[in-house]
A and B are shown apart, each in its own frame.
Chain A
Amino acid sequence: MNLLRKILHSRLFMVWGITLVVIIIGLAITLVLIAHSKRTRILDAPPKLPDTPNTTDILPPPEQVNIFLLNPTSLEITPVQVELRLYSEPTERLKQIVSALVQETLPNYRNPIPRGTLLNEAYIDSQKTAYLDFSHHLADGHIGGTTAELLTVSAILKTIFDAFPNEIIHVQILIDGKEKKTLAGHLNLSQPLRF
């Protein structure tokens, strides 16, 4: 008993005790900081396009898809066949196809999507309305004019309705996550659109 009391009151025990407490507090603070930094990284992470599903190890087979671009001779929005490796999940397919439209450059066609435009996110709701969230370039980089505005929106709508004849009925265009009434001051984008 005396020996135990001696140990408890000894200077050595005090030093080791305090050291242990400091180590535990330090470890706790470090764990909290690590957890916080991970959460911040998730929130700040830019959206990945296309969002890779779990089964990415096997590339899907190539498919023929119609992308609608402006034919400068006929002055019509016309389909152009491109080959894409598309995932089966509709939202992922939608992201892939719209991203392909946004980036497509073919020598004999004009892409009516302003340069620099990116698809931030895409989503299909239960009423078969597709929500497409584009970067601000779609509106800010637009050349203006009613025809140009109609060509831009027609290219998006025709590409989607051609690829998703049954899965999507309407399309709502968003800019940086928000509803925008118009791209260049003419076509009303306040509601979902269809042909």
Chain B
Amino acid sequence: MTKTRNNFNMWFPPFKSLSIFLFILILISVTHGIAQAPTVRFVDGEGETLAEVEFKLHQEIVYLPVETLKTAFDPEMTHEYHRPRKQLILKTKGKELRLRMGNTTVNIDSGKQTFTLPAPPLAIEGQPMLPIHFFRKILAHLDDVEVLYNPNLQRIRIMPKTAWALDVSDDTREWTIIIDPGHGGEGDLGCKSQNGLHEKDIVLAAAKEIKKLSEQHQLSIHLTRDQDTEKTLIQRVQTANREQGRLFLSLHCNASFSPNHKGMRLYINNPNGQPRFRTSEMPRFGKKRLNILNQANYLKQSKNFANVLQKELNFLAENPIVITEFPIITLSDVSMPAVLLELGYLSNIDDAKQLSNPDHISELAVAIIRAIQIYSASVNQPSKSNGFSERKPSDTN
């Protein structure tokens, strides 16, 4: 018996220490889990945090408490919730909104405006909660704001519309922006996803969305194709040059041999990129170098435009967007600053799912329009600190 107890005493202390260690480990992981509860972060136009709010998931839809409006949008906001009638009345920005739990209709100022949400507000654990769609769709109708949502990072950017329009001069309004939806027709489908999405259809939808949005922002957008038709590279370039475009944005969807490649990519035509051409010299006529106006003349401007696009689109991206330079056939003969934007990988399941979502396409369009506005405003106002003062074709390297 004594021998057994001795044995136990000999073995117990290590077990005791181990148990305490495991208990502490479990406690840390549980508390860490609580601390890492899922949140939606609201940021302003500069990326500064306005509020960070815990959300609840219901049928894979993000729901936020009503008080979020107060912290992230309008500190003056008040609300009343009539539990028996399941009715929610919100007073914000001088407007009254009426919603009913389980009902997708949003009534503003006694029927002056009515919207239908994709998901209804719900009472979760006795508290009225608003679906994420409310923030994405309704806020812009309550105040002069644009709302961008990144579902990957659960981030919402709320920025005043006035911040956009402020710099838009008459010069910019006279600009024609060329949007080139890549591929098209039955002979050129582009790449495709596993579930049968075609690149030509996604980029056309995105181009049309940009055009629709541009009308609200007094921008003149011209599409190289507005239907599912096949266009040669020469036809696209001719259209862009004939319309005297000031910017050229070619829209594409990416593909890779690995399903792990994902995210957006930006490309600039550079004969000295990676890979590079044998020679990037201009053709000569006798001893004179022929200064043909093509994309090589607009390299610096194209880089500037790509940088602005990168900054604006990064908000919607999971990882920072990379800009790559190489000889691009689509852009080589365009006589204006030009960028090729790959909206995502159709060979990646997550990207393909996102690109089939009209909400995501419309958010991409908002970011692209904003980038065009920022770039054109900077070009027209070279005195600004971030201004790009080049309006004429310049350096070639």
Contacts and interface: CB of A to CB of B under 8 A. Distances in A.
Interface of A: 70, 72-73, 75, 110-112, 129, 143-148, 150-151, 153-154, 157, 169-170, 181-182, 184-195
26 contacts: A70-B258, A72-B257, A75-B260, A75-B261, A111-B257, A143-B347, A144-B199, A145-B191, A145-B253, A145-B342, A146-B252, A147-B255, A148-B254, A185-B183, A185-B330, A186-B328, A186-B330, A187-B275, A188-B269, A188-B277, A191-B327, A192-B278, A193-B275, A193-B276, A194-B275, A194-B278
B16 to A, nearest CB: 43
Contacts of B256: 75, 145, 147-148, 151
B340 interface: yes
A129 to B, nearest CB: 7
A187 B191 CA distance: 15
Contacts of A73: 260
B258 A145 contact: no
Contact of B327 (A110, A147, A148, A188): A188
A145 B254 contact: yes
A170 B279 CA distance: 10
B345 interface: yes
Given A185-B329, A185-B330, A147 B265 contact: yes
Contacts of A169: 278
Given A148-B256, A151-B257, A190 B278 contact: no
Given A73-B260, A195-B275, A195-B276, 6 more contacts: A72-B258, A72-B260, A143-B191, A144-B192, A185-B182, A190-B329
B328 A147 contact: no
A110 B258 contact: yes
Contacts of A186: 252, 267, 328-330, 340
B110 interface: no
Given A143-B257, A146-B252, A187-B326, A195 B265 contact: no
Interface in B112-135: none
Contacts of B324: 150
Given A193-B277, A194-B278, A187 B329 contact: yes
Interface string B177-194: 000001100001011100
Nearest to B253: A145
For this complex, into which size category does the number of interface residues on chain B fall?
A: 35 or more
Contacts of A153: 275
Contacts of A185: 182-183, 188, 190, 233, 329-330
Contacts of A170: 278
A36 B191 CA distance: 48
A192 B280 CA distance: 11
B168 interface: no
Given A72-B260, A185-B182, A193-B277, A147 B329 contact: no
A193 B328 CA distance: 12
A195 B277 CA distance: 9
B309 interface: no
Q: Which A-B residue pairs are the 8 nearest by beta carbons?
A: A145-B255, A144-B191, A188-B327, A188-B329, A72-B258, A110-B257, A193-B275, A145-B254
Contacts of A154: 275
SS class, residues of chain A in contact with chain B: loop
A147 B198 CA distance: 17
A164 B255 CA distance: 30
Given A147-B256, A148-B256, A170-B278, A181 B347 contact: no
A185 B233 CA distance: 9
B332 interface: yes
B255 A144 contact: yes
B283 to A, nearest CB: 12
Contacts of A145: 191, 199, 252-256, 342, 345-347
A56 B277 CA distance: 37
Given A72-B260, A147-B261, A186-B330, A157 B275 contact: yes
Identify the interface centre among A146, A148, A151, A184: most chain B CB within 10 Å of its CB. Answer: A146
Contacts of B254: 145-148
B257 A70 contact: yes
B78 to A, nearest CB: 51
A176 B379 CA distance: 46
B6 interface: no
B191 A148 contact: yes
Contacts of B252: 145-146, 186
A15 B342 CA distance: 86
A187 B327 contact: yes
A191 B277 CA distance: 6
Nearest to B327: A188
Given A145-B256, A186-B340, A193 B265 contact: no
B274 interface: yes
Given A145-B191, A186-B329, A112 B277 contact: no
A172 to B, nearest CB: 9
